């Protein structure tokens, strides 16, 4: 560690001042006495390093904690029972929400969860969301604008903190069984968020609901769904490279891909019946991301057969299956919302059709290439059939 001239000068002044300290006076009182005699020439920040930037960052963190505490108090006060007159008119039914009491209780103090980044915020945010959705779901009155804003801010904060735990798992070079357990927990949390919070935005009144829904869906796309769709290829390459590594190992790697796919399906399934009715076309947005990943699986250049190229070819086939399965979920069964005003717009539909056309052309080129001495990018009949099946499902939907 280097010491600057300014630091040397400060140390010299401190030692000189201590040299003249009265014997019957403590160091703390002596320092306070010197500060009263020699006030600072300029105001300094009340931090250890005297930096106003550090002080501002600390104030921002304190403000964010105060906001969370204030919203938690709002949720807590809203849970107080209020006597209401009985009404003959039935209320809108809210889909049964996932019971998180057991999951949240199991997270508290769990060793593998406590060591995760931002685990404390994840626990507190989902506890607040669980309490808020319970209070709003049990109420017979319409959800107010303030309650909707509180619900959206809480949901977005839950999505953000959930992504902080999810992203390191998707990028991890070494997989463990504890990561699969964590993914299972995140799946339960995500399903609860999408199945319980979003329907409450439209309870009794739909005013201002579209913009609020778009905020939640945008956070889901950016922080959860897109990273999952973009992870199937890297996860397949890392898993198979470790599985078929030339160096022997007694510990087999953990395959996280089924858990990641399950998390995508569980989080997306509650949105199928509502997403197409609003401004943000969730299905088309995610489909374009998945198709972009499919295009990246079939590079035009072919490489000689080696151990690495064979493993990469197998990883591409696995990534193709997982991505096509995700597309199968996106292009779900035909619903009224797809055949009415909520059907994909001409621009999104055209972009999806163009992407399918490029993928099929590239696959056909791989399958009909007579050069059998080099390869690694060949498309077998199973993979080709999967892509054609997804295309058929898309055209039936539109």
| pLDDT at res. 134 | 82
Average pLDDT, the chain: 77
Spatial separation of the C-alpha atoms in residues 386 and 175, rounded to whole Å: 28
Q: Buried b vs exposed e over 160-179: b needs ≥16 C-beta within 10 Å? A: bbbbebbeebbeeeebeebb
| Tokens standing for residue 366 | 């791989």
Q: Comparing 150-164, 169-183, 351-365, which segment has the lowest mean pLDDT?
A: 351-365
Question: CB of 116 within 8 A of CB of 165?
Answer: yes
The closest of 218, 170, 215, 220 to 195, measured between CA atoms, is 220
**Confidence bin at 49 (pLDDT 50/70/90):** low
| pLDDT at res. 89 | 41
Asked if pLDDT for residue 150 goes beyond 80, the answer is: yes
Spatial separation of the C-alpha atoms in residues 77 and 16, rounded to whole Å: 58
- Give the phi and the psi of residue 371 in degrees, each rounded to 5: -75, 110
Asked if pLDDT for residue 182 goes beyond 80, the answer is: yes
**What's the first-to-final CA gap in the chain, in angstroms?**
65
Helix, strand, or coil here: 278?
coil
| pLDDT at res. 256 | 95
| Tokens standing for residue 214 | 């778009």
What is 31-98 written as a DSSP string?
A: HHHHHHHS--SS---SSTT--HHHHHHHHHHHHHHHHHHHHHHHHHHHTS-------SSPPPPPPPPP
Give residues with Cβ within 8 angstroms of 314, minimum separation 6: 240
Model confidence pLDDT, tens digit, residues 194-225: 988 888 876 655 556 677 888 899 999 999 99
Asked if pLDDT for residue 66 goes beyond 60, the answer is: yes
What is 14-28 written as a DSSP string?
A: HHHHHHT--TTS-HH
Asked if pLDDT for residue 265 goes beyond 90, the answer is: yes
User: Which residue, chain included where needed, has tokens 């059939």?
Assistant: 385
Spatial separation of the C-alpha atoms in residues 55 and 53, rounded to whole Å: 5
Helix, strand, or coil here: 393?
helix
What single DSSP character describes residue 374?
Answer: E
| pLDDT at res. 376 | 40
Model confidence pLDDT, tens digit, residues 275-304: 555 545 788 899 999 999 998 887 666 667
Strand partners for 303: 375
Asked if pLDDT for residue 262 goes beyond 90, the answer is: yes
**Confidence bin at 374 (pLDDT 50/70/90):** very low
Mark out the alpha helices in 172-301 (DSSP H runs): 177-192, 198-200, 209-220, 226-229, 232-243, 257-268, 272-275, 282-296
How large is the average pLDDT for residues 78-107?
50
How large is the average pLDDT for residues 316-331?
93
Element (H, E) at 375: strand 374-375
Identify the top-confidence range among 98-112, 198-212, 334-348, 364-378.
198-212
| pLDDT at res. 260 | 97
| pLDDT at res. 372 | 44
CA atoms within 13 A on the CB side of 135: 23
Domain ranges of the chain: 94-235, 281-398
Asked if pLDDT for residue 309 goes beyond 70, the answer is: yes
Strand partners for 375: 303
- Which residue would you say has higher pLDDT here, 328 or 346? 328
Spatial separation of the C-alpha atoms in residues 74 and 78, rounded to whole Å: 6
Q: Comparing 184-198, 241-255, 374-388, which segment has the lowest mean pLDDT?
A: 374-388
Asked if pLDDT for residue 72 goes beyond 70, the answer is: no
**Number of other residues whose CB lies within 10 A of the CB of residue 369:** 13
| pLDDT at res. 136 | 81
- What's the alpha-carbon Rg for the chain, to the nearest Å? 29
């Amino acid at each position: 560690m280097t010491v600057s001239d300014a630091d040397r000068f400060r140390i010299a002044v401190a030692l000189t001042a201590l040299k003249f300290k009265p014997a019957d006076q403590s160091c703390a009182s002596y320092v306070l006495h010197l500060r009263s005699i020699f006030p600072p020439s300029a105001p300094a920040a009340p931090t250890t390093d005297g930096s106003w930037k550090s002080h501002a960052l600390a104030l921002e963190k304190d403000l964010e904690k105060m906001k969370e505490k204030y919203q938690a108090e709002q949720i807590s006060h809203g849970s107080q029972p209020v006597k209401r007159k009985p009404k003959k008119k039935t209320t809108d039914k809210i889909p049964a929400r996932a019971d998180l009491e057991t999951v949240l209780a199991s997270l508290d103090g769990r060793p593998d969860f406590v060591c995760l980044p931002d685990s404390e915020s994840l626990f507190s945010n989902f506890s607040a969301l669980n309490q808020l959705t319970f209070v709003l779901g049990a109420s017979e009155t319409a959800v107010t604008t303030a309650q909707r804003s509180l619900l959206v801010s809480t949901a977005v904060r839950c999505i953000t903190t959930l992504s902080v735990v999810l992203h390191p798992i998707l990028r991890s070079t070494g997989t463990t069984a504890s990561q699969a357990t964590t993914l299972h927990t995140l799946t339960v949390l995500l399903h609860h968020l999408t199945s319980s919070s979003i329907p409450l935005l439209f309870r009794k009144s739909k005013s201002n609901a579209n913009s609020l829904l778009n905020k939640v869906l945008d956070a889901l796309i950016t922080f959860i769904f897109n990273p999952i769709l973009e992870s199937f290829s890297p996860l397949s390459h890392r898993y198979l490279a470790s599985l078929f590594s030339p160096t022997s190992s007694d510990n087999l790697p953990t395959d996280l891909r089924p858990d990641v796919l399950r998390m995508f399906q569980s989080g997306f399934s509650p949105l199928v019946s509502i997403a197409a009715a609003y401004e943000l076309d969730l299905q088309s947005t995610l489909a374009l991301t998945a198709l972009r990943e499919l295009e990246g699986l079939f590079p035009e250049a072919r490489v000689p057969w080696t151990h690495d190229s064979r493993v990469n070819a197998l990883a591409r086939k696995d990534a193709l299956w997982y991505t096509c399965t995700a597309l199968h979920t996106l292009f779900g069964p035909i619903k009224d919302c797809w055949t009415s005003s909520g059907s994909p717009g001409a621009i999104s539909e055209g972009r999806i059709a163009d992407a399918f056309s490029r993928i099929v052309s590239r696959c056909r080129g791989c399958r009909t290439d007579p050069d059998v001495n080099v390869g690694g990018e060949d498309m077998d009949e199973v993979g080709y059939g999967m892509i054609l099946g997804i295309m058929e499902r898309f055209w039936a939907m539109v």
